[in-house]
Amino acid sequence: MLHRIKLYHGISLTALISVLFFIFYCLLYLPTGLLAGFFLLSLNLALVDHRIHLSFKQELSLFVIGWIFQFAGHGVFEKKRPALMDNLVQSLVLAPYFIMFEFLFKIGCMPQLKANLEHDLEVKQKDLENSRNKNE
C-alpha cells in the first residue's frame, strides 16, 4: 500500500522506508544487513515494475489478515501480548530482521553466531532467575 504514496521525484514511501531499514540493518550487522537490503531492493523493484500487482482491496485484505494472524498467534500460542504493545520499533523494524535471522539459522547459516546468541540468552535467563530469587 505504501508504494502507492509518491514522494519527491516519484520515489515511493516504500522505497524510502526500505533504504532506511537497509541502513539500520547494515549498522546492526553488515552481512545480514546487505542481504536484507538486497531483498528489500528486489521487492521494491518488483513493485515499481509491476511484477507484483495487487489491487488496493487485495493489499488491504492481506494487511488486515496479517494483523489478525499476528494477534491470534500471540494470544493462542505465546499467551503474551505482541511486542507492538511495548515497543513499536521492535515490532515494525526489528521483527522482520529477526525473522530473517531465524530463517538463516534454520538453513544452517552462521552456526557460530547462533551458538553465541543461544549462550548469551542462557546467561541472561540465569541472571534473570537469580535476580527474581533474590527479590523473593
Q: 69-125 pLDDT, tens per residue? A: 877 887 787 777 766 667 777 777 888 888 899 999 999 999 999 999 999 999 999
Q: In the prediction, which pLDDT does 22 show?
A: 92
Question: Per the structure block, which three cell numbers stand in for 97?
Answer: 530482521
pLDDT band at 51 (very low <50, low <70, confident <90, very high): confident
Residue 42 inside a domain? The answer is yes
Residue type, 33: G
* Domain presence at residue 78: no
Domain membership flag for residue 21 = yes
Question: Per the domain annotation, does 47 fall within a domain?
Answer: yes
Residue 131 counted as domain residue: no
Give strand pairing partners of 78.
Answer: none
Quote the strand ranges of 31-129, DSSP E: none
In a domain, 66, yes or no: no
Instruction: Give residue 48's domain range.
Output: 1-53
pLDDT above 70: percentage of residues in the chain: 94
- What is residue 96's predicted lDDT score, i.e. its pLDDT? 85
Residue 39 belongs to a domain: yes
Number of domains in the chain: 1
Q: Which pLDDT value is given to residue 2?
A: 64
Residues forming a β-bridge with 6: 12
Instruction: Flag whether 76 is in a domain.
Output: no
